[in-house]
C-alpha cells in the first residue's frame, strides 16, 4: 500500500494566488473607501489586509508541501 504522492510546490501558482488575494482585498477596500468618500485610503487598507490574507491562502493551497 502506497501513500498519496506529495504535491509539488509551484512558485508561479503561489504567486498568482498571493496576487489574486491581494487584488481582491484591495479592490474590496477601494469600493468600501469609495462608499466612505476616500478611495485611496480604502484601497490602502484593503492591501494591508490582503497581504496576510494572501499568505494564508498560499499556505492553505500548499499545506501538504509545508508539512
Q: Positive or negative, the Cα torsion across 53, 57, 58, 59? A: positive
pLDDT at 6: 62
Q: Is the pLDDT of residue 67 over 80?
A: no
Per-residue pLDDT, 3? 65
Residue 2 reports pLDDT greater than 80: no
CA angle 7, 8, 9 (to 5 degrees): 125
Predicted TM-score (pTM) above 0.85? no
Tens of pLDDT along 22-60? 999 999 999 999 999 999 999 999 999 999 999 999 999
The whole-angstrom separation of Cα 50 and Cα 48 is 5
Amino acid at each position: 500500500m502506497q501513500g498519496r504522492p506529495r504535491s509539488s510546490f509551484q512558485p508561479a501558482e503561489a504567486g498568482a494566488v498571493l496576487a489574486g488575494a491581494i487584488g481582491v482585498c484591495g479592490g474590496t477596500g477601494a469600493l468600501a473607501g469609495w462608499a466612505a468618500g476616500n478611495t485611496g485610503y480604502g484601497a490602502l487598507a484593503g492591501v494591508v489586509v490582503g497581504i496576510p490574507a494572501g499568505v494564508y491562502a498560499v499556505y492553505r493551497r500548499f499545506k501538504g508541501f509545508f508539512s
